[in-house]
Every structure is written in structure tokens, then in C-alpha cells.
Amino acid sequence: MAAHDAVEVILAKRDKQELTDSQIDWVIDAYTRGEVADEQMSSLAMAILLNGMNRTEIARWTAAMIASGERMDFSSLSRPTADKHSTGGVGDKITLPLAPLVAACGVAVPQLSGRGLGHTGGTLDKLESIPGWRAALSNQEMFAILEDVGAVICAAGDGLAPADKKLYALRDVTGTVEAIPLIASSIMSKKIAEGTGALVLDVKVGSGAFMKELGSARELAETMVALGTDAGVHTVALLTDMATPLGNTAGNAVEVAESVEVLAGGGPADVVELTLALAREMLAGAGRSDVDPADRLADGSAMDAWKKMIRAQGGDPDAPLPQARETHVVHAPASGTLTRLDAMAVGLAAWRLGAGRARKEDPVQAGAGVVWHARPGDRVTQGDALFTLHTDEPDRFGRALASLEGGYDIEDGADLTPGPIVLDRIG
């Protein structure tokens, strides 16, 4: 590998030059090995945030991150593979019903998931509220469950894109999280290294999402679809609405309970709609468009796959879920139509109740969260229960209530038809 030095690479990007393949390969490798210091990499990350990268640079940067670790290969499985990645939102429990549903349709789902940070919940945190369930699996265990059950949701091992793990932590504390080239390469380096045959991206847009504006969400989606396509992975993205939180719950155990309702053939309409939309894209990418996932929800086979998947990872799918020790009900202050429910306000409330974490080492409460009893478009009567807050620590209610203040509107005489969940498809 050609020798460079960190200052040369920083200056090139500071001066809006295109980084060469050799510069990118060197800086990622040297940073992973500890030869490039954190302060130098944070300076380069800021230059990338301010001056951007073109498609060639982003593709090379992603390839260098993949090359920093191992690559998985699922070609030995008896069925095709497909995966989904969501950019994170409030009440976004979609992975839980989606993975067993797609497995019930004959496609294997190796879902390497993460923990929550800030107001967006983590899939692993939700599942860990199920008694006995464990997130850490060896590669051998993961392959065995995929062959047997067809779906696994677990923590990514340290071997996949270690450069990303190091850079992600640095971006978090240097104000460079929002750089689209770095978000795209972070997500796609892990997903491409994971070795799945087809990938569907759920890019959230709105107040409760990372991307607040449709334009920036579309740019991120297009960048990621291009990276996947260039790497030979069948990749599509759906832009989905996150102005309003998904379903009727935000938290951990409360979201598991709602996911089980969906698998039982019920559940909130928006969660069912998005789960089916993503399932159809995953099945199409894996060459199984002949199967209708709605049939698998109706006939109970998706629920069977869920129970089998949970048991395979040590969990008891029939055990009662943990419940918070304390609840507080917020009553509707007026009668009328709920015209707005702000996803960010709900996400912050759930976080402050103990459902999320401020630092990656913080614990989360399994029973904490928010349940809302009306969605935009619904009629409410003054005094009705609007929200129920759940926590083990009653001193958390005050700050949670403060974050809900101004987070919803009730208008008398208003008529509202909620808009679509899927805003656009890219790929």
C-alpha cells in the first residue's frame, strides 16, 4: 500500500479535492491500526461533512471499510438471503415481525442489529426484554439458526468493518454524524460485509428521523442504493414517513407486545402496512415474488417462525413480558380530532422514561415506554386517556411530560386523512 500521511489527506479534502483510491485505502487502514490519531480523523471527517465526496470516493471509502475486517458468506444456505436496514425512528419495531415473516416465505434473514442511542430505539434492546433471549451468537450458531429457522436477529460481531466501529464512535462526539458520505458508507460497509444477497433500506423522513427533510433523505437513499448496486447486492430503498411515530407504542417490551399482535394477524394498520411493503421488496430481491407475505400473517406461519426464532436464541416466547412498576396517564385536554402527534416528542418521552440511553454503556429499562391511545385522524373526547407513560422510576415522569408538551394538536371540527407511510421508492 502506498505511503501517505494524514495531513496530506486532510489538506486535500479541506481544499475540495477528490481523494485518490490510494489515499482512501491508506487512511482507513492506518486509522484502524492506530497510526492516524483520532484528532486527525475527526478533522478529515469534518472536511468530508463540509465538502462532500463523489460517488467514486464514497464507493472506495466503503470498500476500504469492508476490507478492514471479515466478510460473511451465506451461499451455503439452502435458501436465498435478504436483509433490511432502517435508519431509525420512534416506535420502529418493524424488524421484529418482518424477519420471521420473510423467513416463513422461504427467504433467510440474517439481521445484524444494534442498540438504541438517544431517542431512536434499538432492536436488540427490545428483544432483550423477552426472558432468556440473547443477542450474542457465534457465527456457527447464526448459520445453524438461519438454516433451521430462516431468521436470526443478533448483534454484529467485532469482525465486520472494525474501521466503522471506530469511526462511528468518533463521529458521535465530533459533530460529524450528519455527513451523508459517512452515514452511507457506515451503513453499507456493514451490510455488504454481511454478505446478504438482497438488501432493502428503510430511510425514515420527518421529525423523529435522522433525516428531517425529504431532499436529504433521498440523497442518502440514492447514495446507499448506488453503493449496494456497485457492490453487486440487489439494493432498493423506501423513503418512509417518520413525522408521526409508528404503531401505538415506543419502548422495549411494549413494542415486542405490539409486534406479536401483528404476527397474530392484528396490530396497528401502519405497522402492518410497512411490514408487508418491506417484506414484498425483500422477497422480490431474493427472487420470491411468487409468495404473498399477507398470507403468511393470516395462516399463522409467521407467528410459528417468530416463536422458533426466539427459542433458538434462548428466549421464551410464551413468558409474560416485563412491566414497568409505575404508570401515569395523560388525559386529552379538549375534544376534537388529533391532527398531529410529533414523533420526536414521543421518542424523547420514551427515552426519558428509561427506554433508551444517553451513552452506549447505559442500561435500559425493559418495561419503560409510551403508549398512545389515539393516532392522527382519530376523534378524542376531553378527559380520555391520550398517553400512558411507563417507568420503574416515578421521578422520570416530570421530564417525560415536559417533552410531550406541544408534541400534539387536537382541533375541533378538523377532518384529517393521514398520508401514506411509503413516500417514495428508489432503486
As annotated, the active-site residues are 85, 164, 171, 186, 190
| Distance in angstroms (rounded) separating the CA atoms of residues 32 and 162 | 7
Cell of 285: 430481491
Burial class (CB in 10 A: 0-12, 13-18, 19+), 78: exposed
Residues forming beta bridges with residue 388, ordered by sequence position: 329, 371
Secondary structure (3-state) at 160: coil
| Distance in angstroms (rounded) separating the CA atoms of residues 329 and 91 | 19
Q: Give the residue carrying C-alpha cell 418482518.
A: 98
The answer to whether the beta carbons of residues 344 and 359 sit under 8 Å apart is no
Q: Among 377, 355, 376, which Cα is nearest to 367's?
A: 355
The backbone torsions φ and ψ at residue 326, rounded to the nearest 5 degrees and listed phi first, read -125, 145
Cell of 16: 475540495
The answer to whether the beta carbons of residues 378 and 337 sit under 8 Å apart is yes
Cell of 329: 396517564
Q: How many CB atoms lie within 10 A of CB 230?
A: 17
Q: Give the residue carrying C-alpha cell 432493502.
A: 200
DSSP category for residue 420? -
161, amino acid identity? A
DSSP category for residue 122? P
The answer to whether the beta carbons of residues 391 and 365 sit under 8 Å apart is yes
Q: Among 39, 37, 16, 426, which Cα is nearest to 236's?
A: 426
The answer to whether the beta carbons of residues 366 and 253 sit under 8 Å apart is yes
